[in-house]
Amino acid sequence: MAERNYTVVTEFFLTAFTERVQWRVPLFLVFLSFYLATTLGNTGMILLIRGDRRLHTPMYFFLSHLSLVDVCYASTIIPQMLAVLWENGTTVSQARCAAQFFLFTFFASVDCYLLAIMAYDRYTAVCQPLLYVTIMTEKACWGLVTGAYVAGFFSAFVRTVTAFTLSFCGNNEINFIFCDLPPLLKLSCGDSYAQEVVIIVFAVFVMPVCILVILVSYLFIIVAILHIRSAGGRAKTFSTCASHLTAVALFFGTLIFMYLRDNTGQSSEGDRVVSVLYTVVTPIP
């Protein structure tokens, strides 16, 4: 049996999507177009919401913060993906890798919480319209958003500290689009049990709680829609919620695929494709 190389790794080499040379330029252009669409679309939405007083409502207030988080979320991942494709692989220090992992986890966590908050907001608007103004006050909205940012920071801090207390040795190549925890665990040369527990805790207690809030909220919304006598009223109410449900399904579905399964073995091409969905596609407005 070959003896394992225990040379300590202080930097990582990202190589995702570089094995097929003929696809580098097309993928670069596709990811760049997605990034421009995400940045311009979400920035435009924020400016529109801020500039139009008719949109100064709780729903658009939460949507503006979701747009801001999506821009930051995409900016954490996509520029480095473009660099990997342009340079046919790029080297990142462990400190830079940790910073990217922290920012990704922070913005992804805040995204989860904001989607759950927006579902609760829609539930309140549809199911308790007479109490909506008294429930979703400006103070309450700021409290919910602040809580999302604080919880996201705590989650990101704990996961980052836990992940980068590992020792990395041997091969430093990460065949993935960014410094995420599953591919990092494959490079560890020590006991990664605690880090894997953190992945499970994040997946089992954070995502399902948000998903439960969303499902329960929309269950009540659907029941309320079915009681609307006007077909036009039902269609209008449902169309308001349909885009949010689509974003929720894509975002949480891909995250569950990545985190609620066995992470042993090498990163597959399927993993990279799925990671593109939740890092490149979902932030597009």
CATH number at residue 274: 1.20.1070.10
DSSP letters for the chain? -PPPP-PBP-EEEE-TT-S-GGGHHHHHHHHHHHHHHHHHHHHHHHHHHHH-GGG-SHHHHHHHHHHHHHHHHHHHHHHHHHHHHHHTSEEEEHHHHHHHHHHHHHHHHHHHHHHHHHHHHHHHHHH-TTTHHHHS-HHHHHHHHHHHHHHHHHHHHHHHHHHTTS-BBS--EE-SSS--HHHHHTTB-S--HHHHHHHHHIIIIIHHHHHHHHHHHHHHHHHHHHT---HHHHHHHHHHHHHHHHHHHHHHHHHHHHHSS---SPPPHHHHHHHHIIIIITT--
Per-residue pLDDT tens over the stretch 12-23: 888 777 677 777
| Residue 5 counted as domain residue | no
Number of domains in the chain: 1
| Residue 211 counted as domain residue | yes
Structural domain boundaries, residue 132: 11-282
Per-residue pLDDT tens over the stretch 178-213: 887 777 777 777 666 776 777 667 666 777 788 888
Least confident of 130-134, 215-219, 277-281: 277-281
